[in-house]
């Protein structure tokens, strides 16, 4: 005879797994904000920057440049994680008007 499936238990297990994945994603996003130094920004500025990025994400050149900078950031090993020189003031003066290098 065939064993009956407990659909409620399976659904609970899937919901628990989904919650765990969402919590992990939130934790990783927080770690990313901290490791890039973006935690030094106030919440309004950080939210505005992210909204601006989302609005410009349709432009393929922007996405490729961001992907490249992100890959470079994650490939750095043995060094303290810092922002790309273009953004942190170490290697050039490509900061925007009114910005001061960090």
- pLDDT in the model for residue 77: 56
- Same domain (yes/no): 32, 53: no
Q: Is 96 left (phi over 0), alpha (psi -120 to 50) or beta?
A: beta
- pLDDT in the model for residue 60: 86
**How large is the average pLDDT for residues 9-15?**
96
- Same domain (yes/no): 61, 89: yes
What is the rounded CA–CA span in Å between residue 47 and residue 42?
9
- pLDDT in the model for residue 29: 94
Domain around 27: 7-36
Residue 16 in this model has a pLDDT that exceeds 70: yes
- pLDDT category of residue 34 using cuts at 50, 70 and 90: very high
**How large is the average pLDDT for residues 31-40?**
93
What is the rounded CA–CA span in Å between residue 56 and residue 63?
8
Q: Which two tokens stand for residue 38?
A: 């973006």
| Residue whose entry in the numeric block shows the structure tokens 């490791």 | 35
**pLDDT tens digit sequence for 59-90:** 888 899 999 999 999 888 545 545 545 555 44
**Tally of domains within the chain:** 2
- Same domain (yes/no): 67, 88: yes
Residue 47 DSSP SS3: helix
Residue 37 DSSP SS3: coil
Residue 55 in this model has a pLDDT that exceeds 50: yes
- Same domain (yes/no): 70, 83: yes
Asked, for residue 61, whether it belongs to a domain, the answer is yes
- Same domain (yes/no): 85, 53: yes
Residue 27 in this model has a pLDDT that exceeds 50: yes
């Amino acid at each position: 005879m065939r064993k009956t499936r407990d659909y409620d238990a399976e659904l609970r297990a899937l919901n628990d797994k989904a919650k765990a994945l969402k919590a992990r994603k939130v934790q990783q996003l927080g770690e990313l904000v901290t490791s890039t130094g973006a935690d030094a920004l106030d919440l309004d500025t950080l939210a505005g920057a992210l909204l601006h990025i989302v609005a410009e994400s349709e432009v393929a050149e922007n996405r490729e440049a961001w992907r490249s900078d992100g890959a470079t950031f994650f490939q750095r090993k043995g060094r303290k994680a810092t922002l790309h020189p273009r953004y942190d003031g170490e290697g050039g003066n490509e900061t925007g008007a009114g910005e001061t290098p960090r």
